[in-house]
Amino acid sequence: MNAKQHIKSVTIIGAGNVAHNFGLAFRQAGYLITEIYSRTRNSAMLLSQTLNCDFTTNLAELSDETDIFIIAVNDDVIEDVIAQIPHKNKPIIHTSGSAPIEVFNGKGFKRYGIFYPVQSFSKHDTESLTPIPICVEANNVETENLFLSFASSVSSKVYSLDSKKRKTLHVAAVFANNFSNHMFHIADSILGEDNISFEIIRPLIEKTADKIKMDKPVNAQTGPAVRRDNKVIQSHLDYLEKEPSYRDIYNLITQDILKSQKEKN
């Protein structure tokens, strides 16, 4: 089945990072963007200008001249938004890593599901969806086929993943993306205290991401914990005395590296 035979136009509910990237990617792939919704007038207007389409701040007034609704709003308002969308005969998807498929229960839609892009988008640096994995789930096989085909029209890495596995993936993504980025922030903050430029560790950060292209992270690990260099570990803990939260993080992660190396052997 070719999704483009069924889906020619899309409405995007939301005007944040995901909405921006999806809007541009779907337009690029030849879809008509019918309309943008955001509760914030300015955000809706800005994205609609970028995409050259209509916008609304009122879910009840959404046009029915669309082939699918794509929800890209914060997790805590997804259910509320779904409930307010009219045109229950249209397919509808949300894009959250966390919200289970059950958020559509009792809202009146017949074809619904999830389109979870495994990426950390930014508004200001939109990108092609082609290399980005998209995880698809739907309420029945026919709808899943429609959504898989729709996803394949913008991404070359489409996976079928149920809500349970999507949650696993989302937890993993928080570690891989948000928490690793926080490690970069702590490094930046520690260097800043001593007026050392963050530039000095950029090549190291690039290498860290590069190394695991060829190996599992547990095998690529280096540093005092892997070397069981207790003298260095203790001197780092002493150094971090002045910043107790960094000290606690250093200690906990070091213990866990020691544990994971033991399990590896």
Work out whether strand 92-94 and strand 68-71 pair parallel, antiparallel, or are unpaired: parallel
Please, which of residues 215-234 interact with a second copy by CB under 8 A?
Answer: 216-218, 220-227, 229, 231-232
CB nearer to a second copy: give 25 or 118. 118
Q: At closest approach, how far in Å is the CB of 9 from a second copy?
A: 28
CB nearer to a second copy: give 120 or 140. 120
Q: At closest approach, how far in Å is the CB of 5 from a second copy?
A: 28
Q: At closest approach, how far in Å is the CB of 167 from a second copy?
A: 6
* Cα–Cα nearest to 33, from 6, 3, 4, 68: 68
> What is the distance between the alpha carbons of residues 84 and 103, in angstroms, rounded to a whole number?
13
Structure letter (DSSP) for residue 175: I
Q: Does 77 bind a second copy (CB under 8 A)?
A: no
The amino acid present at 88, given as its one-letter code, is K
29, 32, 45, 257: which one binds a second copy (CB under 8 A): 257
Q: Does 159 bind a second copy (CB under 8 A)?
A: yes
45, 128, 132, 144: which one binds a second copy (CB under 8 A): 132
Q: Does 259 bind a second copy (CB under 8 A)?
A: yes
> What is the distance between the alpha carbons of residues 250 and 258, in angstroms, rounded to a whole number?
12
Q: How many residues bind a second copy (CB under 8 A)?
A: 93
Q: At closest approach, how far in Å is the CB of 208 from a second copy?
A: 5
Please, which of residues 108-127 interact with a second copy by CB under 8 A?
Answer: 118-122, 125
* Cα–Cα nearest to 243, from 199, 189, 181: 189
28, 89, 140, 235: which one binds a second copy (CB under 8 A): 235
Q: Does 30 bind a second copy (CB under 8 A)?
A: no
CB nearer to a second copy: give 142 or 210. 210
CB nearer to a second copy: give 60 or 102. 102
CA dihedral (250, 256, 259, 264) in degrees, to 10, reads -110
Buried b (16+ CB within 10 A) or exposed e, 197-211: eeeeeeeeeeebeee
Give 114's contacts (C-beta < 8 A, 6+ positions apart). Answer: 93, 94, 95, 96, 99, 101, 135, 136, 137, 138, 163, 166
Q: Does 61 bind a second copy (CB under 8 A)?
A: no
> What is the distance between the alpha carbons of residues 228 and 260, in angstroms, rounded to a whole number?
12
> What is the distance between the alpha carbons of residues 123 and 206, in angstroms, rounded to a whole number?
23
5, 52, 58, 245: which one binds a second copy (CB under 8 A): 245
Contacting range for a second copy; rule: CB under 8 A; set: 37-45, 57-65, 138-146, 193-201: 193-201
